[in-house]
Amino acid sequence: MLFRRSISIAIGGLLASVATAQAFDDATYPDLFGVWRRVNLRPGGQPSFDPTKPWGRGQQAPLTPEYQAIHEASLADQANGGQGNWQSGARCMPPGMPASMTAYGEMEIVVLPEVTHILLNHNSDYHRRIYTDGRDWPKEVEPSFQGYSIGKWIDEDGSGHFNLLEVETRNFKGPRALDPTGLPVHADNQSIVKERIFFDKADPTILHDEITLIDHAYTRPWTVLKSYQRDPSKYPIHSQEDCAGTTANVLIGRELYYLSPDRELMPTRKDQPPPDLSYFKTYER
């Protein structure tokens, strides 16, 4: 009797300690460790939001007439040496969601039970937190370029392993654009971005992100499928982009200038006026 009780206590204790120790069974989650790079389909131009189509007009984005005109103005400004709606290059700004997931640089994904971190390297470090701890939308949250993301892991085939991360992201600020031609999102920043992140069924080295953008600048939800390939190196390199330290672009007011190799101001277009120097005492007109 005493022996049976002691066995029961021992077994109970052992199982309890295993249950406690097993705080995070990472085998339940897909192995997303490593460095991911976008699959470049090379449809023409710089990386595009819909990777199957060329950037800019080639995207055939379902823009409203008002925002189609804004995009055309951006293209015209860029043709004249300006940056248009694309603030990422000239100002070292983040592209913001959903363009962040174009993965201009390396992407790293760190999965924990309560949060999935997406670390992006472009211009600077950008960091998405996708909360998977069951929280609801906060009543108040400061808008951001990456937005506030809530996700849910799904075990689609009942195998006991999660194979799909569904994410919804809201609470944005601008300016944001979808590609370097300045393909715009609405100035109201009311975008909703829904994502489905999953491994390719035939090729486990490929990860997909199906992104649906719902935005008042568009006539309908726009869904694109992005793909990423894992860096096969044992110890892949994580670079540290330093846009601020290396950029030669200088924005003064609405005028974009360029820095020469000796870091003096240069115009970016023909007959561009120099900056107003009237605040300088030693300036002579």
Partner 1 sequence: MRYRRGKVAFGSLVALCITLAESRAWDETRYPDLKGQWRPIGDPLRFDPSKAWGPGQQAPLTPEYQALFEANLKDQAAGGQGLAQTHTCISPGMPRVTNGYGQIEVVVTPRTTYIMVEHINDNRRIYTDGRDWPKEFEPTYLGYSIGTWIDTDGDGRYDVLEVETRGFKGPRTYDSSGIPLHEDNLTVIKERIYLDKSDPSIFHDEVAVTDHALTHPWIVTKTYQREPDRQPYWREVTCAENNNRLDIGKQNYMVEDGHLMPTRKDQPPPDLRYFNRSRKQGP
Rounded Cα–Cα distance for residues 88 and 179 (Å): 10
In this structure, the number of other CB atoms found within 10 A of the CB of residue 196 comes to 16
Q: Does residue 274 belong to the site contacting partner 1 (CB under 8 A)?
A: yes
In this structure, the number of other CB atoms found within 10 A of the CB of residue 74 comes to 22
**Which residues between 19 and 58 bind partner 1 (CB under 8 A)?**
20-27, 33
Q: Does residue 65 belong to the site contacting partner 1 (CB under 8 A)?
A: no
- Map tokens 């075990």 to a residue: 155
Q: Does residue 238 belong to the site contacting partner 1 (CB under 8 A)?
A: yes
> Of 48 and 146, which CB lies nearer to partner 1 in the complex structure?
146
Q: Does residue 174 belong to the site contacting partner 1 (CB under 8 A)?
A: no
**Which residues between 206 and 235 bind partner 1 (CB under 8 A)?**
235
Cβ proximity of 211 and 86 under 8 Å? no
Rounded Cα–Cα distance for residues 2 and 91 (Å): 75
Q: Does residue 155 belong to the site contacting partner 1 (CB under 8 A)?
A: no
Q: Does residue 69 belong to the site contacting partner 1 (CB under 8 A)?
A: no
Q: Does residue 154 belong to the site contacting partner 1 (CB under 8 A)?
A: no
Kindly tell me which residue out of 69, 154, 225, 244 binds partner 1, with binding defined by CB under 8 A. Answer: 244
Cβ proximity of 239 and 37 under 8 Å? no
Site residue total, partner 1 (CB under 8 A): 74
* Site mask for partner 1 (CB under 8 A), range 86-125, x = bound: -----xxxx---------------x-x----x-x---xxx
SS3 label, residue 244: helix
> Of 64 and 124, which CB lies nearer to partner 1 in the complex structure?
124
Among the listed ranges 3-11, 51-59, 150-158, 219-227, the one in contact with partner 1 (CB under 8 A) is 3-11
Tokens for 200, please give them: 């390719």
Q: Does residue 16 belong to the site contacting partner 1 (CB under 8 A)?
A: no
Kindly tell me which residue out of 45, 58, 89, 267 binds partner 1, with binding defined by CB under 8 A. Answer: 267
Q: Does residue 146 belong to the site contacting partner 1 (CB under 8 A)?
A: yes
Rounded Cα–Cα distance for residues 79 and 182 (Å): 12
Cβ proximity of 236 and 105 under 8 Å? no
Q: Does residue 281 belong to the site contacting partner 1 (CB under 8 A)?
A: yes
> Position 45: which residue type?
G
Least distance (Å) between residue 152 CB and partner 1: 16
SS3 label, residue 72: helix
Give the residue among 135, 159, 133, 137 at the shortest CA–CA distance from 147: 137
